[in-house]
Homo-oligomer: A and B are copies of this chain.
Amino acid sequence: MLRIITLTTDFGAIDGYVASMKGVILNINPQAVIVDLSHSIEPQFVRQASFILHTSWRFFPEGSIHIAVVDPGVGSHRKAVILKTPSAYFVGPDNGIFSYVLHELAQTHVSQNVPSTTDLKKRLLPEGCEAVALSNQEFWRHPVSSTFHGRDIFAPAAAHLSMDVSLSEFGESLDSLFAFPIPEPFTDPAGNVVGCIVHIDRFGNLITNFKKEHVPPKGAAVEIRNQRISSMNRIYAEGGGLQALIGSNDYLEISIKDGNAASLLGATVGDTLKLLNAANL
């Protein structure tokens, strides 16, 4: 039996929304081990939820179930779905929230740098994945509200899944899900690699979409908001100013020892930055 169910939402800490979901889960599976992944996603910021989920889900035991509910279209025509990957289950709205997970699995590269929420597209599932729509109302809570599917559809679905209800019982099979393009770095005419900030963490570290393989073996300089950062280090405690390092999810980050790089630079998610070609240094 699967026991672990994680929750990623934009419900925040004040209201009883998260607790209501947990109550519904425990009603169905009193043995469920429920883990908060994050409830502080910015309201309706589906991309942020998708990214945060992607940085954490793979550290959970195989077969864990991850509910993600950032769902501005709740009650509309958007589908409610389960995505089964080779090592985990994901439950949530079909609104792009699983884009990073799908991208990880597909390793498809989309050469587009600027995040946009407008170009959601249906994409075929990567090999080894399955998906179903949560159309079988037998697994919903009743009466079902039109504004809180987290409590009435996603939580009960995950709980039933954790009780070994098989995927096909939840509803019709899907061969594609909606996903937004994941911004990938690209090389500009001058030979620099252009990327962007995909997340800013609690410490003000700027997490970019550069991965290890984008960084020249001998390091490089980073240009961001008209500042050049030449320190390429290994740990946060190095350096006396802004520095770049490879963070714990293998993305290049901009940080500063004992400080907040985001505040210092006035940087925000979506800002572009460049890994400079040695010839341009």
Contacts and interface: CB of A to CB of B under 8 A. Distances in A.
Interface of A: 3-4, 6, 10-24, 26-27, 30, 33-41, 43-44, 52-53, 55-61, 64, 72-76, 145-148, 151-152, 199, 201-203, 234-238, 245-248, 253, 257-258, 260
Say how many copies of this protein the assembly contains.
3
Nearest to A202: B12
A64 B27 CA distance: 10
B201 A14 contact: yes
Contacts of A248: 145, 147-148, 151-152
Contacts of A258: 44, 72
Contact of A55 (B15, B38, B253): B15
A52 B14 contact: yes
B26 A236 contact: no
Which A-B residue pairs are the 8 nearest by beta carbons?
Answer: A16-B56, A75-B235, A148-B248, A23-B59, A12-B202, A23-B60, A13-B40, A19-B37
29 contacts: A10-B203, A13-B13, A13-B40, A16-B37, A16-B55, A16-B56, A19-B36, A19-B37, A19-B38, A20-B55, A23-B58, A23-B60, A23-B61, A26-B35, A26-B61, A34-B35, A43-B202, A44-B258, A72-B236, A72-B257, A74-B235, A75-B234, A75-B235, A76-B238, A146-B234, A146-B245, A147-B248, A148-B248, A151-B248
A10 B152 CA distance: 27
A202 B148 contact: no
Given A19-B6, A201-B14, A237 B151 contact: no
What is the predominant secondary structure among interface residues of chain A facing chain B?
A: loop
A235 B19 CA distance: 22
Nearest to A59: B23
A3 to B, nearest CB: 7
B61 A146 contact: no
A12 to B, nearest CB: 4
Contact of A56 (B23, B34, B52, B74): B23
Contacts of A38: 13-16, 19
B15 A202 contact: yes
A45 to B, nearest CB: 10
